Structure 1
């Protein structure tokens, strides 16, 4: 990764290939999301919680694979999903430490054959760059609210380790560790005052989204089995 602050004059000639934007997520099994994405994400992925590798603080993620650096939704050319998380769609742009707009000059979507430009001929921001700025704005605005949501779950002791001990169709065992989900038993035991507090904070429907999304784990297992079967069939045909 080669992050630099975006200069509309210095980088006005850069072009983006839209078909390569999602390539950065091809080996991401955990993709961070903000709470404004929960409802859409729940229709496609399990929503889990994990400790950030650098800060050790809990944050929400969509789970896209059952192994490290595995994205079971990656088809080889795109993410085969109806909803692509904001943290994927904003590639190759980032928000710097001082809220400056940065770009990763090493991202594969930067290509002279791309059709998306950053700056119009008159020097104004392109429609594409405005879209990126809106996505980054949503991520920045959602960060503090999401951190507060997670802090509330921790205060109520509602996060518990997810224990998955799976046997795939080919008989191979698979264990997923380091992930946390909603402790539904403790959630059901909350008193009326705490439930009312969650409702007033706008958190109750998010908790239900997390619970519904847990069923998407079965989709990941199915995709994993399909990928293994295709790999075995390809290897058999190659002999």
Structure 2
């Protein structure tokens, strides 16, 4: 549940924002195009489809069974990098707030630790950070649009085999189909290379190996263990 309020120094002046606690209760967060390379060192990067627009966007998968970010714990943040949007989940654009911002007062990243929301009564540095993250996410969506136009995004099957014999399925995820990419006409491949779309496709596909890290993080935290994970990209 969110509790949005226009950013107000009288109401929010003492609050701090702990980016490491951002997205603590989320399994998926948007990823910017410029973040793809550093993030694959820790987490799987996939695609999700907006139910209203039908557009795809790159997302980081941060959890498996429970709706939690497995990289966040009371001890801190456990990855070498973090999606920019994940650290700013408490902020929204709002023309009625200071520097055009609103805050979600229920977000777990807000509290008494982290960086102050205000510096000399202003929050311009947070507006700049949010604008940069949103711009990079928009570029990530444009990358996904290019893959979708060429028919490269296919449904990803993720099946979790639990230690009690039950299976759980993660729905709504997509990946780049390597066979479809290999079958593209030469002209399309050249166009993708010149648009810097080939390298990200390879990196995104390689990131699927990080699902195993999520399994390990899950098993270290929760009593119900994930014995194995099966991944497959549809035809």
Q: C-alpha displacement at 1:154, in angstroms?
A: 0.9
State TM-score, norm by structure 1: 0.79
Question: For the residues of structure 2 that align with 1:105 and 1:175, how far apart are their CA atoms?
Answer: 33
Offset of 1:196 from its aligned partner?
1.1
State the 1:202 CA deviation: 1.6
SS at match of 1:163: strand
Deviation at 1:12, TM superposition (A): 6.6
- Corresponding pairs, count: 222
Question: In the alignment, does 2:156 pair up with 1:162?
Answer: yes
> How far apart, CA to CA, are the structure 2 residues paired with 1:165 and 1:13?
46
Is the 2:57–2:144 contact (alpha carbons within 8 Å) kept by the matching residues of 1? yes
Q: Any idea what SS the aligned residue of 2:72 has?
A: coil
In structure 2, the residue matched to 1:119 is 118
C-alpha RMSD of the superposition: 2.8
Structure 1 match to 2:81: 83
**Cα 1:222–1:208 shift into 2, 3 Å:** same
- Which structure carries more strand by proportion? 2
Corresponding residue for 1:57? 55
Indicate the larger mover: 88-97 or 171-180: 88-97
Gap change, CA 1:223 and 1:137, over 3 Å in 2: same
Equivalent residues of 2:25, 2:67 under 8 A apart? yes
Using a 3 Å threshold, how does the CA distance of structure 1 residues 203 and 97 change in structure 2: closer, same or farther? farther
Extract unaligned runs of 5+ from structure 2. Answer: 226-235
Checking the alignment, whether the CA contact within 8 Å between 1:161 and 1:179 is kept in structure 2 is yes
Could you tell me how far 1:59 is from its partner in structure 2? 1.4
- Rounded Cα–Cα distance in structure 1 between residues aligned with 2:114 and 2:71: 25
Cα separation, partners in 2 of 1:202 and 1:171, compared to 1, 3 Å? same
How far did residue 53 of structure 1 move? 4.7
Return the offset for 1:17. 5.2
TM-score (norm 2): 0.80
